[in-house]
Structure 1
Amino acid sequence: MSDRASITEGHQLVLVTGPSGAGRSTAINALEDLGYEVIDNLPLSLVPRLVDGAPVGPIALGLDVRNRDFAATALIELIDRLTRRPEVSLDVLYLDCSADELIRRYNQTRRRHPLGLEPAEAIAREVDLLAPVRVRADNLIDTTDMSPHDLKAEIARWYDRDDASRMSVAVQSFSYKRGVPRGVDMIFDCRFLSNPHWVPALRELDGRDAAVVEHIRQDPNFEEFFTRVRDLVLFLMPAQQKEGKAHLTIGFGCTGGQHRSVALVEMLAYVLAQQGWPVSKRHRELERRVAVTLPTQAG
């Protein structure tokens, strides 16, 4: 999200999406309580018109497969189009949930899935459809173990414009082969560190595994690199908050986005949490792998 200081200088727009049943309606209602003007299921073709005139305040749009002209490619094109407009501060919020939990929620409420199929098949198809959008999200909230109250509290933590006392931080890993993520404020390249990919026993693991972390820590450059990054980030955080930042995104990139960048994200997120900063972490390439396997598992 953009600086609090710039909220009145342009359009602030939050796009809320995710699989049906993951909590989009709850999130939209929570944003309305926080002072956002909310519009649910506005056709994608009409969204650009909202930012053609003068800013009228923050807007939250609920977008899912029920939209009349919804398509993942169309939504991605819309995101790209809005991102190129300097007067628009765009934030894409993706509400995620495990397939098993989505099935349980549909069975419990006896609601019909918007795709008109049996819940398991419909959920698998919808997750597959939304996979490219999930990867493009700025914020991802997994609601699997959340109650509606928990989700409302999480939405407030990220989007309460009146809470100027805290700045939220997102730390994410990525692969340079797939390009730099959109909207990252600071990026650290860790491709110079020893690559666990070349160790057969570590190749299929990722940077959350203790053996992978230990391998990276053995690199003679690791300790000084992480110490300098940690100290720089901790030094900059209060200054960024004082400047009016509501949200800061920090990225770590490596070759495949599986080992080194993932490990560094986990380490820095832990440090920030210990210092009391509201922090979330994302691993873009690991999410891509999950997105590929989820439809098969759900079906």
Structure 2
Amino acid sequence: MLEVKTLKKKYGEFTAVDGISLHINKGEVVGLLGPNGAGKSTTISMIATLFKPNSGEILFEGENIVKNPKVIQPFIGYVPQEIALYETLSGYENLKYFGALYGLSGKAIKEQIQRISKIIGIEDRLKDRVSTYSGGMKRRINIGVGLLHNPKLVIMDEPTVGIDPQSRNHILETVNKLKSEGISVLYTSHYMEEVEAICERIYIMDHGKIIADGTQEALLEQSKIQSGMKLKFEKPVAQIVDQIKAMAWVTQVQILDEYEMIIRSSGNGSSHKDILNALMAMNSGLISFDIQKPDLEQVFLHMTGRGLRD
């Protein structure tokens, strides 16, 4: 459906996006992750035809939208990070106004507002002024605006920043509903748990480049991050740390405090039982343990050297 080929964007001598390529299939939710300044916002702005690249191609259903932006504009829904609503109007009036900009009127706009309000879960507050809404409710209306014209592709740029858990759940449910209707979604977020919950594939950007992509499982495999165990002891770990480091399976020991440590080991988790047996045999004073499987947060930190919110 959407294919980006060797896209590049420069501002003077600074290269914000450096030859990236990606694709989105019909009805697919794709995550675009990166630390601040990685080039995500510039990338999605070019896909949304807000910025023009210096070079590269963006193909929508085979048509080059860099040369002809009007090919994609009627079929794209863009939900910006900033709230773009009229505070003195009601939610309904906002949706009606923006629907008119899309060319909707009469029965068509009423039916669309009714349908969209159910999707975003805000039917009971539509007649209230936006100024009385919580931040989460404003964001839901903001998303509703981007859905009024039945887009084929929706770009969501940090849609859950600074909102309550209930509204966050509504937005994630909205994304899943869009997917079930065959609508594609490009989703950026600083919350890894959201990406893990809704995205089928993920692109990781850093310094203007795509440094990794794939399913969650594929990214975990690419990173080669080993599983670990968080261990708590009744005696100071300094007394046994050398013995633990000498174990054949142990690759890394991280001391958390006087009584706690994290052990990483080879064997993709199969060595955990052997390590625990060895600890019991040496009378280590082990009180508790917690198996820690690698997750996307660790993958991201491993690949970029920075946290997602940095």
TM range (shorter): 0.3 to 0.5
* Structure holding more helix per residue: 1
* Structure holding more strand per residue: 2
**Larger-Rg structure:** 2
The TM-score with structure 1 as length reference comes to 0.34
The answer to which structure, 1 or 2, has the higher relative contact order (CA under 8 A, 6+ apart) is 1
The TM-score with structure 2 as length reference comes to 0.33
